[in-house]
Amino acid sequence: MKVKVQKERAGCALTLLIMIVFCVIVLLFPVCGSVSLAGWVQSPGHPQGYDPHSNLTWKKCAPTGHKITLTLIHLDLEESFECEDDALKLYADEVLLFTLCGRKSMKELQASVNPFLHSSPGGCLSASFLADYSNTERHTGFRGFYTVQDVNECMDPENECTQLCNNYIGGYRCFCRPGYILDSDKHTCQVSCSEDRTGSQEGVLMSPEWPGPYPENAVCSYTLAVEEGLQFELTFTGVFDVEKKENGECIDSLTIKPLSGDAETLCGRDVPSSLLTRSQRVEIIFKSDHKGANRGFSLYYKTRGMKCTGPVTPKSSLYPQDSEYLTGNKVTVKCDKGHVLKSNESAEVEYTATCQKNGQWSPVIPCEPVDCGIPELPELMELSDKDHPTTYLNKISLKCANKYYQLDKNDNFICNAEGNWVSESGQTLTEDLPKCEAVCGMNTEVSFGGRVFGGKPARSGQIPWQLFHKQLRRGGASLISDYWALTAAHVVDGLENTNMTWLGGIVNSQDRNPVTMEANKIIIHPNYQRVPVGGDRKNFNNDIALIKMSARVQLGPNIRPVCLPNTTNGPVMEGKMGTVSGFGGFEQGSTSAILRYGHIQEYPSEQCVFEDYFVTDNMFCAGDEVKRVDSCQGDIGGPLFFPMLGYGTKEQPYEVRGIVSWGPARCGHVSKSYYTKVQNYLGWIEETMANN
């Protein structure tokens, strides 16, 4: 009984204490206006007990500079697993702190719960109580006492006051020690050290508290200014000690800022050299951070007469040359090689400038690099890099506009001092302009086997240089550039003045979409012997002709030129097989609508004797007696090319070594025919193409 009475007295004493605190806070109510500074929060029906389905939601927020605290003095709720039946949930600033149920004594609440029931400054506390549908015994619920308290911001190390802090109800303020002023951020104390020395021509400037360590958070601005015609010379005396990092970056800094020109920032321990400012007005700015014990600087300043120095403008030189020039001195400014005066249409490179009283030159005309501009290029050619600079000493390179062409020589040019693009040999672009020549001897598909007489059909792109003519006289030709084709003279003999149409890019003569080429010129070899109409030809010497088309042939995957031979003597096919192609006969008495090809070899002339026919060194015999491969009527003028189809490479492209010329009347009977030896006519071909 005695113990129970003592507990009741202790409880009454605590309640009385809380009531006294409550009364004191109520007396201070006007301090916070309409905000309640203290009060109680309890479960419905407390202390008699709460009913089933009871609930309560409570929330209180503190004003700026205050926080709210809650002290639980009683807790008696139904005990359940994880408080899933009856529960009191407590939150601080919307964050759940505790979920409580069961019974806890005042001592337990004080030890494990109450120390954490407070908000952040200006934050909120909230509680949510919810009971389920029934309890096996009656529980009294909970009760707590909340108070709104001032926050002592000066105890917060993050309040950012650099020197002194004064706390008051609802806030705090920073203030400074004597000799310092509060910055506009209301937190930083700065030393008051700015000084205007306008008109002073000689004197000493020192960091604050020199020769002792300079104070923290110093921002000092010293202004030096005199009349026009004078400039300041600065000389550092004694110790120079301005804090910097090991990597050389300035922590504190001394900045010399003239009226014109670049500012110079100094720090470290090396005494700077004397500085001639070349300015009648100089601002000297000293800054320090919030820590350190460095000694600072001392400098002596004086004035001297203003002088001009060179250069007047970059990329130029002065005449006469001197280290300094007096006011009124005149100089000739001459642009360096490859540079001209800016915005000068006459491309002048020099002018006269005069030294002014302020130490500046007038006039100042910049020198800019010569611009060669974007060159005019012929059709099919373009710059490798369209956005590349075109000024002095910059380089450009050229390329052909599509992959079916390549440059015939060096493609690099440099912009010279005269504004011309020149090659490595020193010739101008117009004198040494490369040409885009059609890539020859390359096809887009490879295959093996087949014959012309009874041969195998070609596929698109296999023999892209094959041309075909089926009007007036059936025959073939070989495209050797994007303008010229090569054929046998007797294919075009007598047709020089006709509108001769050639077809290309096809493997079927009935194709409705061939590349159509109109002949502009037909040039037969001058030593070719023409036979009168109705005459019997026995001599096919010099059986070669060139055809120039009226327009550039649009090259593509199915129409590309074949190369000319790169040799002028020796065996035509070097003892290997070549390939002949055409739209001629492939069986006795029939011609082919399909392009066919076959592989043949070269034979000595003594093995190819045809009665009464005239054989010269300008022709050679080829065929295949074993497989009975041969050219035939309708193949006349077409190509015999090497290496054999399927074996051409970039290193050894296909070359037209022979032109189908003449042979036995019956195709396949002997399986040998004669071909014009193209290598004997390279000079005539090149000269004719160049002159026409």
Same domain, 530 and 637: yes
Same domain, 552 and 670: yes
DSSP, residue by residue, 343-380 = T-TT---EEEEEE-TTS-EES---EEE-B--PPP--TT
Q: To the nearest 5 percent, what fractions of the chain are helix, strand and coil?
A: 10, 40, 55
151 in a labelled binding site: yes
Whole-number pLDDT of residue 35:
52
Q: Is residue 185 one of the residues assigned to a domain?
A: no
289 in a labelled binding site: yes
Q: Is residue 485 one of the residues assigned to a domain?
A: yes
Same domain, 461 and 604: yes
d(CA 540, CA 363): 82
d(CA 640, CA 660): 7
243 in a labelled binding site: yes
Helical (H) or strand (E) element with 22: helix 2-27
> How far does the chain reach from its first CA to its final CA, in angstroms?
137
536 in a labelled binding site: no
Whole-number pLDDT of residue 30:
40
Same domain, 338 and 387: no
**No. of helices (H) and no. of strands (E), the chain:** 4, 48
Length of the chain: 692
Looking up residue 81, the CATH number of its domain turns out to be 2.60.120.290
Per the CB < 8 A criterion, the answer to whether 460 and 580 are in contact is no
Same domain, 576 and 462: yes
- Asked if the bond preceding 311 is cis, omega within 30° of 0, the reply is yes
Same domain, 627 and 500: yes
d(CA 386, CA 305): 52
State both tokens at 688.
């004719």
Per the CB < 8 A criterion, the answer to whether 453 and 668 are in contact is yes
445 in a labelled binding site: no
Same domain, 657 and 600: yes
Looking up residue 602, the CATH number of its domain turns out to be 2.40.10.10
Whole-number pLDDT of residue 32:
40
Q: Burial letters for 252-262: b for 16+ Cβ neighbours within 10 Å, e otherwise?
A: bbbbbbbeeee
Q: Is residue 10 one of the residues assigned to a domain?
A: no
DSSP, residue by residue, 285-313 = EEE--S-----B-EEEEEEEE--B-S-SS
617 in a labelled binding site: no
Whole-number pLDDT of residue 470:
84
Q: Is residue 680 one of the residues assigned to a domain?
A: yes
Whole-number pLDDT of residue 89:
96
Q: Is residue 171 one of the residues assigned to a domain?
A: no
Same domain, 257 and 389: no
Structural domain range at position 364: 316-369
Same domain, 493 and 622: yes
408 in a labelled binding site: no
Per the CB < 8 A criterion, the answer to whether 474 and 489 are in contact is no
Same domain, 518 and 634: yes
Instruction: State CA 606 to chain mean position distance.
Output: 69
Same domain, 63 and 87: yes
51 in a labelled binding site: no
Looking up residue 407, the CATH number of its domain turns out to be 2.10.70.10
3 in a labelled binding site: no
167 in a labelled binding site: yes
156 in a labelled binding site: no
651 in a labelled binding site: no
Same domain, 524 and 597: yes
Q: What is the CA angle 459-464-465, rounded to 5?
A: 140
Number of domains into which the chain is organized: 5
132 in a labelled binding site: yes
Whole-number pLDDT of residue 587:
61
User: For each successive 10 residues of the chain (692 residues), what is the average pLDDT?
Assistant: 38 45 41 66 94 94 92 94 93 95 94 93 94 89 94 82 85 83 83 88 93 88 93 94 93 92 92 91 92 91 92 94 92 95 80 92 94 92 90 94 90 92 90 91 62 68 94 90 96 90 93 93 94 75 97 95 88 90 73 88 86 88 85 89 93 96 76 93 96 94
